[in-house]
Amino acid sequence: MCKKLEGKVAIVTGGARGIGKAICARLAAEGAKLAIVDILLETAQQTVDEFTAAGFEAKAYAANVAKMEDAEAAVKATLDKYGKLDILVNCAGITKDNLLMRMSEQDFDAVIAVNLKGTFNLNGQPLETAEYTYPEGTIHRRMGYKMALETYGGELGKNHEIAIHSYTHPFLDRIPRALANYEVAKDREVLEKLFDRLIRGCAYPMGTFSDMTVDVLRDNGIAYARTTVSTGNFSIPTDWLRMPATCHHNDQRLFDLAERFVSDQPNAWDTPWLFYVWGHAYEFDANNNWDRIETFCERVGGRDDVWYATNMEVYEYVEAYRHLHFSVEGTFVYNPSAIPVWFEYAGVTCKVEPGETKKFR
């Protein structure tokens, strides 16, 4: 008989006795491997011995969940033992029953430290370090640290751009500003530490945003933020923290737009064109239409007259162009940026090197 949690790994805090022990018993009965985390190591070991005798797999770890270092050590030990983490149950808790007016500050602090901060200490670390396994055919999937590094880190990932998406994927425009600030700053901190690079881009979770979220992103050093707005044209963004796309990859206009993009040319007085397609990789699995994006790439790829660039490369180039300094008569131009900039002057394509002042006539 197949068990629901066969092969899964679970941490249960406060699992040595009481409700925590009962939860452990149920998880073990469904096939989960257990990491029983408790401040009472001797009692936790006795519980492990009971489960082991019953044919279950379990390991006891001593930890005071109110201490971040203990929580981190318990998670690391679990990952070292089992190689992954699928389930976290925060069951550790204490009571100091009394009327609030009669409760001492020491008792109040102790309850908050274990029951509230203990949950915080355990939740943050597993979300950052756990690996994830899914049954074949699962569409919506998370990527753990190891897989993320293998995919987007080192030499293999140097041409991939990484952007924040918030720490826990809330509606940023519906939460208090302080929490929105934490979501952005924490996600950026985690990603920069993981990939050892500067992260300055964002894709809005749920696609929603407001003036407040834009201010939060700006305060946290984010340069651009992709929305889910589709314009159906090739305009260069003018508001990078409300950055629209040309279309979604499932948009019925995709191939018509692709044909126009490669066949037509911007007018001489127009800005260059940007074809920006947004979407999610899992949607190709969900809709079984990988051939759609492959056909699109075959049509628009490999062309000498198209620059294939990341969001940040486009942002930095456009900003460099917009910061060129021209003389009153338009005979001199100064490029204060660190990248070369091209533009057309009197029918001639001109290049201005970083830090160069160029004279036209």
β-strand 332-334 against 325-326: which pairing, if any? antiparallel
Percent of residues in the chain assigned helix, strand, coil, to nearest 5? 40, 15, 40
- For residues 130 and 84, the answer to whether their CB atoms sit within 8 Å is yes
* Residue 139 maps to a domain: no
At 123 the pLDDT is 77
Q: Nearest 5°: phi and psi at 193?
A: -70, -40
The rounded distance, in Å, linking the Cα atoms of 348 and 161 is 33
The rounded distance, in Å, linking the Cα atoms of 360 and 332 is 6
What is the average pLDDT value for the chain, to the nearest integer? Answer: 90
Nearest to 231 by CA among 242, 222, 215: 242
Is 353 found in the same domain as 280? no
Could you tell me which residue, 283 or 125, shows the higher pLDDT?
A: 283
Is 344 found in the same domain as 266? no
pLDDT surpassing 60 at residue 125: no
Structure tokens at 97: 């029953």
Number of domains in the chain: 3
Is 96 found in the same domain as 60? yes
The rounded distance, in Å, linking the Cα atoms of 271 and 251 is 24
End-to-end CA distance of the chain: 85
CATH code of 268's domain? 3.20.20
pLDDT surpassing 60 at residue 126: no
pLDDT surpassing 90 at residue 281: no
What proportion of the chain, given as a percentage, has pLDDT over 90?
65
At 35 the pLDDT is 96
pLDDT surpassing 80 at residue 90: yes
* Residue 184 maps to a domain: yes
Domain with 101 in it: 9-129
- For residues 71 and 46, the answer to whether their CB atoms sit within 8 Å is no
Lowest-confidence range among 23-27, 127-131, 211-215, 316-320? Answer: 127-131
pLDDT surpassing 80 at residue 264: yes
Is 114 found in the same domain as 180? no
At 131 the pLDDT is 64
At 135 the pLDDT is 66
pLDDT tens track for 218-239: 999 999 999 999 999 999 999 9
When pLDDT is averaged across residues 327-345 and rounded to a whole number, the result is 92
Angstrom CA distances, 243 to 177, 208, 217, 218, 285, stand at: 21, 12, 13, 13, 26
* Residue 239 maps to a domain: yes
Is 345 found in the same domain as 256? no
At 249 the pLDDT is 96
pLDDT surpassing 60 at residue 189: yes
Across the chain, the runs of DSSP E, i.e. the strands, are 9-13, 33-38, 58-62, 87-90, 201-203, 224-230, 243-245, 247-248, 277-278, 325-326, 332-334, 341-345, 348-352, 357-359
- For residues 164 and 188, the answer to whether their CB atoms sit within 8 Å is yes
Is 341 found in the same domain as 290? no
The rounded distance, in Å, linking the Cα atoms of 226 and 203 is 5
* Residue 218 maps to a domain: yes
